Chains A and B, each alone.
Chain A
């Protein structure tokens, strides 16, 4: 049973078709990477999964439940999917601890003490407990990302999705992010990550999905995509890595 099963997903904004029949399966415990050029619909794909964006047609099953159904509790669905945004989107008026506690207090109805214990556990796990009383403006990008991950994990989600996790960070941080993702995945966290960062992709996944012009054009290893894919543009996109290193 796939945790997330997407079939024929179409999303149109007016006349513009962003997703044109996407199929994707994500198994429990898996770490899946979706790559593609800017504007290929990666973010839209993620946002369809928790209905921040309403798909035009197609089906999305999360734990075998059709999330487009009329009886679906959208807020419950969203609580089961941890979302880490490109710019991390920490709440500026709350401390690191407050950011992680908010959902536990408001959505899980935990007491202050319970929420604090759970939040501190997650912050500790991500080595951010020392920064618990700092505000988002006082910590670095990498630290913000860890807080955003702790905030997502605290809600005990079925899957954590990442939208361009390295684009707001220094290039030297890629290694660290990759190590963190690998560690989380080993610990049993299911991850879905969209990125156009080849360095990151190569360190966290053997196979990647290539999303281009609204469809999954390939599902293959990075090496095959760079060397043997029949399409020039695909080879060029994935060949970038050799040019860089």
Chain B
């Protein structure tokens, strides 16, 4: 088996790695936007819960939370599939980090524009979705790229709950061929390629929605 055949074997795990990364990124985005949005809406009563959520989920290791969800919850009668377990661990942790990224970016939205929207008669929620989020997302791109990259690099944990992603394939291959150096080198190359594609995708979106005078570029 030459190097390229090894890569081809490993690539069978590629789909799983990409799916795990996308599912956890999607969960993270939804959770991050919800948490940052609720905080921004200024409901004083939910703020302690939001603080509690980010405080806890930023401090817990991904693997511990993953095991808690996947191996712990069944003991109280809740059975969670592997992909959902990833979303509820890595996805929620990413959400906590993204919520903080979004909070910072929301602070950069001009207060005068929010006031103008209020003066126009828009509701708080309309202002959030029509003014604050569209501007904030453009400002938050660097922080979002960091977080998506982290998610990709944490995705190998999925093998511990039985998802046959790239790292799992590598372990199986290594066990049968004993060619660890080449195999893990190939694994590194594959992750690097996924990372570059992910980056290109984000940059494409960034350019597509770029507005003169707003954002980091």
Do A and B form a real pair?
yes
Q: In the bound complex, how far is the Cα of B215 from the Cα of A92, in angstroms?
A: 10
* In the complex with contacts A79-B121, A93-B138, A106-B130, A85-B213 CB distance below 8 A: no
- Say yes or no: is B119 at the interface (Cβ < 8 Å to chain A): yes
- Say yes or no: is A102 at the interface (Cβ < 8 Å to chain B): yes
- The reply to whether B119 and A78 contact each other, CB–CB distance below 8 Å, is yes
**B 121-145 binary contact with A (CB < 8 Å = 1; else 0):** 1110010001100110010000000
- The reply to whether B131 and A91 contact each other, CB–CB distance below 8 Å, is yes
Q: Which chain B positions have C-beta within 8 A of A138?
A: 212-213
- The reply to whether A89 and B116 contact each other, CB–CB distance below 8 Å, is yes
- The reply to whether A103 and B113 contact each other, CB–CB distance below 8 Å, is no
* Min CB–CB distance B208 → chain A (angstroms): 13
Q: Which chain B positions have C-beta within 8 A of A91?
A: 113, 116-117, 131, 135
**A 208-233 binary contact with B (CB < 8 Å = 1; else 0):** 00000000000000000000000000
Q: In the bound complex, how far is the Cα of B213 from the Cα of A107, in angstroms?
A: 27
Q: Which of A75, A77, A83, A93 contacts B122 (CB 8 A)?
A: A75
- Say yes or no: is A155 at the interface (Cβ < 8 Å to chain B): yes
* In the complex with contacts A75-B123, A102-B130, A107-B121, A93-B115 CB distance below 8 A: no
Residues A100-116 near B (CB distance < 8 A): 102-103, 106-107
**B 84-128 binary contact with A (CB < 8 Å = 1; else 0):** 000000000000000000000000001011011111111100100
- The reply to whether B118 and A52 contact each other, CB–CB distance below 8 Å, is yes
Chain A residue nearest to B119 (CB atoms) is: A83
Chain A residue nearest to B131 (CB atoms) is: A91
- The reply to whether A85 and B134 contact each other, CB–CB distance below 8 Å, is no
Q: Which chain B positions have C-beta within 8 A of A92?
A: 110, 113, 135, 211, 213-214
Q: In the bound complex, how far is the Cα of B122 from the Cα of A102, in angstroms?
A: 10
- The reply to whether B112 and A89 contact each other, CB–CB distance below 8 Å, is yes
- The reply to whether B212 and A137 contact each other, CB–CB distance below 8 Å, is yes
| Interface hub of A52, A77, A83, A91 (most chain B Cβ within 10 A) | A91
* Min CB–CB distance A45 → chain B (angstroms): 14
**B 190-217 binary contact with A (CB < 8 Å = 1; else 0):** 0000000000000000000001111000
Task: Give the number of residues in B that approach A within 8 Å (Cβ atoms).
Answer: 22
Q: In the bound complex, how far is the Cα of B116 from the Cα of A206, in angstroms?
A: 30
Q: Which chain A positions have C-beta within 8 A of B214?
A: 92-93, 135, 137
Q: Which chain B positions have C-beta within 8 A of A155?
A: 120-121
Chain B residue nearest to A151 (CB atoms) is: B120
Task: Give the number of residues in A that approach B within 8 Å (Cβ atoms).
Answer: 26
Q: In the bound complex, how far is the Cα of B121 from the Cα of A50, in angstroms?
A: 9
- The reply to whether B126 and A106 contact each other, CB–CB distance below 8 Å, is yes
* Min CB–CB distance B118 → chain A (angstroms): 6
- The reply to whether A52 and B119 contact each other, CB–CB distance below 8 Å, is yes
Q: In the bound complex, how far is the Cα of B138 from the Cα of A98, in angstroms?
A: 17
- The reply to whether B138 and A79 contact each other, CB–CB distance below 8 Å, is no
Q: Which chain A positions have C-beta within 8 A of B115?
A: 52, 85, 89
- Say yes or no: is A76 at the interface (Cβ < 8 Å to chain B): yes
* Min CB–CB distance A20 → chain B (angstroms): 24
Q: Which of B113, B118, B131, B212 contacts A135 (CB 8 A)?
A: B212
Chain A residue nearest to B213 (CB atoms) is: A137
* Min CB–CB distance A4 → chain B (angstroms): 15
10 shortest interchain CB distances as A-B pairs: A137-B213, A89-B116, A79-B121, A78-B121, A83-B119, A89-B112, A75-B121, A92-B214, A135-B212, A93-B134
Interface residues of chain B, those whose CB is within 8 Å of chain A, are 110, 112-113, 115-123, 126, 130-131, 134-135, 138, 211-214
A-B contact pairs, 16 of them (CB 8 A): A75-B122, A83-B119, A85-B116, A89-B113, A90-B113, A91-B135, A92-B113, A102-B130, A103-B120, A103-B121, A106-B126, A107-B120, A107-B122, A135-B211, A138-B212, A138-B213
| Apart from the given pairs A83-B120, A91-B116, A135-B214, 20 other A-B contacts in the complex at a CB distance below 8 Å | A75-B123, A78-B119, A78-B120, A79-B121, A83-B116, A89-B116, A90-B116, A91-B117, A91-B131, A92-B113, A92-B213, A93-B131, A93-B135, A93-B211, A106-B122, A107-B120, A135-B213, A136-B213, A151-B120, A155-B120
